Structure 1
Amino acid sequence: MNITVEKQPNCNASLLVEVPSDTVQSERNKIVKTYTSQARIQGFRPGKAPRKVIEKRFGSSITSELEERLARQAFEKAMTEQGLKVLDFGRPADFKETPDGSVTFRSQLTLAPEINLPDYKGITITAGSAEVTEEEVEQNLQSLRERLADYSDIEGRTATTGDLAVIDYTSTLDGTPLEEALGKPVGYLSGREGFWIKIDEESFLPGFAAELDGCAAGDEKEIKVTVPEDFPVAELHGKELVFDVKVKEIKEVSLPELDDEFAAKVTGGKGLDELKTMVEQQLGVEKQRQVDDAKVNQIVEHFNELVDFELPEELVREETQSQADSLVQRGVQSGMSEDEIAAQQAEIFATAGMQARTNLKTNFILQEIARVENIQISDAELVNHLATVAQSRKESPKKMIKQLQKEGRIPGIRNSMLVGKAIDFVLEHANVEEASASTEDQEEKS
């Protein structure tokens, strides 16, 4: 069997196969013999039908099975003899039989990227502290109080810091309605009716809520705000927006007392000390997750800065679509309308494309590290993982695994576990430095 591989850009390759006539005939004979032994043809005893009868009756099936066998043998030989790392062998095509009985065919392959790994042991990363402070516990308890607060209409005074205002508003840019000026939807910036806003510096846009201090129900006011540089809509950075605001209601916030009665409402019967312990534990889990995520992000950034290689375009397209779908879903959950999402389609796909390439590069790098370090996922590990997932979903493990097999998702799950193991390996061999307080503050701001 003669195999020629022509590598092409973007991890593609063309595979041309020539199978000598003796190999073709040998494989055909094996297939015909199997059909002869199993076929039930009227007028002949089992296994005694003439070859010509078998070939005439099952000719197309024999040819199809022969092509499958030859293709499978060619693929195996290509991987073993030429060291190809194949992601997808494609569909063999252009089968041709020459006068001497030999067969040729070709297939379009998708190859794994060729990667020159950088040093992946001893990478220096910084890690913040997962320790929970008393201040953080108090802030969380305050947030719980605010969620259970009572709101009452204010009479006899104007609004002040900490109150809530219910407002109607519209916005303009250089005298033109904002959406008209930009030529696309901008969500809540363009205007709202019955919008609730807390009067403090962190609400809405910087400086907006402060202008409501001293207002009363029925007041109308023009508020000018300069859009900050970190605002999601880049076209508005540094622009001055003018809001025409009508104050409909002013409400006073009454927070519940932080006591055992409050704790019982939140926890279903536990006391204040137990609530504080629960809050501290939850914050500890969340902070540890953030620390772990920050470590992984540094590893990803490190590899993507040092290593570059071609990626299979089909995988890039699939991952880009997946990332775009996720961005759209998050947009819908945050309250974006279909028109707003459609207006930002180009930005969504640009962001999704960049994230897709980062994800794929990282995945391939970690798979290569796993190969070099002989990191594997055993069948027992896979089954245990799937059983844990099934238990969390309150499903039958056997039923869930069978469904995953039917959907062809088991290899992807195994690969995800392998990548996770590779990340753990890199982190175990990393040089972890404790982040200073100023570094942690900067990371939180970014």
Structure 2
Amino acid sequence: MQVSIETTSGLERRLTVGIPAEQVDSEVKKRLQQAAKTVRLNGFRKGKVPLKVVKQRFGAGVRQEVLGEVINRTFYEAVQKEAVKPAGQPSIEPTQLDEGKDVEFVATFEVYPEVAVSDFAAFEITRLSATVTDTDIDNMVEVLRQQSATWETVERAAQDGDQVTIDFTGTRDGEAFEGGTGENHDLELGSKSMIPGFEEGLIGALAGEEKTLALTFPEDYHAEDLKGAAVEFKVTVHRVAAKELPPLDDEFFAKYGVKEGGEEKFREDVKANMERELNNAAKSKVKNQVMEALLGAHEVELPKSLITSEIETLRNQALQQFGGGANAQNLDLKSLLPDEMFAEQAERRVALGLIVGEVVKAAEISVDAERVRAMVEEIASTYQEPEEVVNYYYNNQELLSGVESAVLEDQVVDHILAAAKVTDEQSTYEEVIKQEPKDRESQGKDAE
């Protein structure tokens, strides 16, 4: 096998491989001889078909099969010989395939970039911590009650926080506009789900009353033709209802899995869930800071093939999230979800994958099996039959691999924190669990 390699541009490489004719021809002959022993053709007994006839009938197909296998195998032998690591699939173009002549093909591909791991001592990380107080638990219990609230009809004027059931018709210059009508629409006053002035205009309304609201759409409204438009809504109020919160009784506690122990056990469970959420949020904030620091400290040339692959992954995830998986084959996904929607996130994920992969390699970090077990058990603890969930994870390699990747990321973060400048800061539950303005994913596809 003859191999030559050249750099065409940046990370792109062009590999030219020559394969001796004998290597291909001898394998083709071998397979044809094997076929001659079993093939059935009219006019010949089984195993008695002349090799010349077998070659005439099957030679081209067998040769094509052998060429594919040989080219694929020798490509990977060639990149190992040249000590290069392809990123993504190569583009292979045969240049000589004639029988009796040496086979030649050209493979074009990108390689992984070299990443020089930075000094983590320059990283400055703030680590927040907090405790779950009785007030925090009270607030969470109130949130749960709000989620289970019911709406009860009242015979009075609507107040802020009430729910009104309405019909409405919106017009602009006397003409109805698209999206401006509704029937039996339940609207919570104060929810800010309608344009400014709409909900305020219904405070004080009674069931059976008709009101006319003269309003103006905001200048930043999403529909271009309605930005800043003066409109009029005619509204009929059918019902006024007040929110009624459920009492803290056994029926309410049972909805959250507490069948014995009453309010004390319910609050214990709420606190445990809040502490779990608090711990995860604190870890996530630290992790995001570490990943931002890694990105800021490394400039990495990104293989286009990896970005393209990551964009496709993100596009499919978005499709599944919105329930379009079943009919995906009938959709023009690149028109509905163009590459530009995912390009920035894909570049970030690929860059982090490359950097983190190099940290793992440089620090010789391997997945801690005990931490994997602990994470699986923590996940399982939120289910009624934890042991069954643990067994399910360990019998499903795809699920287990996901946990192993998460643990490996945590180990990388711990490794960096050991060298970084870390400031511990006491905070509150609400502050720690509050999401960042732009919630980023901490890790991309593993570079290994």
TM > 0.5 fold call = yes
The separation in 1 between residues aligned to 2:374 and 2:271, in whole angstroms, is 31
Instruction: Tell me which residue corresponds to 1:280.
Output: 271
The separation in 2 between residues aligned to 1:86 and 1:153, in whole angstroms, is 64
Instruction: Tell me which residue corresponds to 2:293.
Output: 302
- Within a 5 Å distance, the mapping from 1:214-363 to structure 2 comes to 214-217=204-207, 218-222=209-213, 224=215, 227=218, 233=222, 239=228, 244=233, 245-267=235-257, 269-270=259-260, 271-328=262-319, 330=321, 350-363=340-353
1:397 Cα deviation from its structure 2 partner? 6.8
Check whether the contact 2:127–2:282 (CA below 8 A) recurs between aligned residues.
yes
| Cα RMSD for the two superposed structures | 5.2
3-state SS of the aligned residue for 1:132?
coil
User: Which stretch shows the higher mean deviation, 243-252 or 189-198?
Assistant: 189-198
Instruction: Tell me which residue corresponds to 1:76.
Output: 77
Instruction: Tell me which residue corresponds to 1:126.
Output: 126
- Within a 5 Å distance, the mapping from 1:1-20 to structure 2 comes to 1-8=1-8, 11-19=11-19
The separation in 2 between residues aligned to 1:416 and 1:10, in whole angstroms, is 35
1:158 Cα deviation from its structure 2 partner? 1.0
Instruction: Tell me which residue corresponds to 2:152.
Output: 152
Check whether the contact 2:154–2:241 (CA below 8 A) recurs between aligned residues.
yes
- Identity over aligned pairs, percent: 21
Question: What stretches of structure 2 of length at least 5 have no aligned partner?
Answer: 325-330, 381-386, 438-448
**CA deviation string 1:56-81 (max 9, x = no partner):** 78744367436633542342232342
**CA deviation string 1:258-298 (max 9, x = no partner):** 24453245435231111111111122222322223333333
Check whether the contact 1:225–1:240 (CA below 8 A) recurs between aligned residues.
yes
Distance 1:285 1:397, change over 3 A: closer
- Tell me the amino acid that sits aligned with residue 214 of structure 1: G
The separation in 2 between residues aligned to 1:442 and 1:228, in whole angstroms, is 33
Q: Does 1:424 align with 2:411?
A: yes
Distance 1:356 1:209, change over 3 A: same
Distance 1:137 1:415, change over 3 A: closer
The separation in 2 between residues aligned to 1:68 and 1:272, in whole angstroms, is 68
- Within a 5 Å distance, the mapping from 1:86-105 to structure 2 comes to 86-91=87-92, 93-96=94-97, 101-105=101-105
The separation in 2 between residues aligned to 1:240 and 1:102, in whole angstroms, is 74
Give the paired residue count: 411
1:246 Cα deviation from its structure 2 partner? 3.5
The separation in 2 between residues aligned to 1:309 and 1:83, in whole angstroms, is 17
Distance 1:103 1:295, change over 3 A: same
Distance 1:266 1:119, change over 3 A: same
**CA deviation string 1:108-158 (max 9, x = no partner):** 334334444444566323343353232332222223323333322221x21
1:250 Cα deviation from its structure 2 partner? 0.7
Check whether the contact 2:258–2:266 (CA below 8 A) recurs between aligned residues.
no
Instruction: Tell me which residue corresponds to 1:195.
Output: 185
The separation in 2 between residues aligned to 1:4 and 1:305, in whole angstroms, is 37
User: Which stretch shows the higher mean deviation, 116-125 or 276-285?
Assistant: 116-125
Check whether the contact 2:87–2:303 (CA below 8 A) recurs between aligned residues.
no
Check whether the contact 2:129–2:426 (CA below 8 A) recurs between aligned residues.
no
The separation in 2 between residues aligned to 1:125 and 1:52, in whole angstroms, is 75
Q: More helix per residue: 1 or 2? A: 1
User: Which stretch shows the higher mean deviation, 143-152 or 170-179?
Assistant: 170-179
User: Which stretch shows the higher mean deviation, 114-123 or 169-178?
Assistant: 169-178
The separation in 2 between residues aligned to 1:71 and 1:263, in whole angstroms, is 62
Check whether the contact 2:157–2:205 (CA below 8 A) recurs between aligned residues.
yes
3-state SS of the aligned residue for 2:129?
coil
- Tell me the amino acid that sits aligned with residue 146 of structure 1: Q
Distance 1:80 1:178, change over 3 A: farther
Distance 1:225 1:130, change over 3 A: farther
3-state SS of the aligned residue for 1:278?
helix
Q: Does 1:168 align with 2:156?
A: no
TM-score scaled to structure 1, two decimals? 0.69
Check whether the contact 1:121–1:426 (CA below 8 A) recurs between aligned residues.
no
1:5 Cα deviation from its structure 2 partner? 2.6
The separation in 2 between residues aligned to 1:163 and 1:199, in whole angstroms, is 6
1:224 Cα deviation from its structure 2 partner? 3.9
The separation in 2 between residues aligned to 1:173 and 1:328, in whole angstroms, is 36
Q: Does 1:213 align with 2:210?
A: no
3-state SS of the aligned residue for 1:282?
helix
The separation in 1 between residues aligned to 2:138 and 2:186, in whole angstroms, is 25
1:362 Cα deviation from its structure 2 partner? 1.9
The separation in 1 between residues aligned to 2:88 and 2:337, in whole angstroms, is 30
Q: Does 1:106 align with 2:96?
A: no
1:17 Cα deviation from its structure 2 partner? 1.1
Distance 1:108 1:275, change over 3 A: same
3-state SS of the aligned residue for 2:205?
coil
1:191 Cα deviation from its structure 2 partner? 4.8
Check whether the contact 1:169–1:193 (CA below 8 A) recurs between aligned residues.
yes
Instruction: Tell me which residue corresponds to 1:184.
Output: none
3-state SS of the aligned residue for 2:314?
helix
Instruction: Tell me which residue corresponds to 1:40.
Output: 37
Distance 1:6 1:225, change over 3 A: farther
The separation in 2 between residues aligned to 1:84 and 1:168, in whole angstroms, is 65
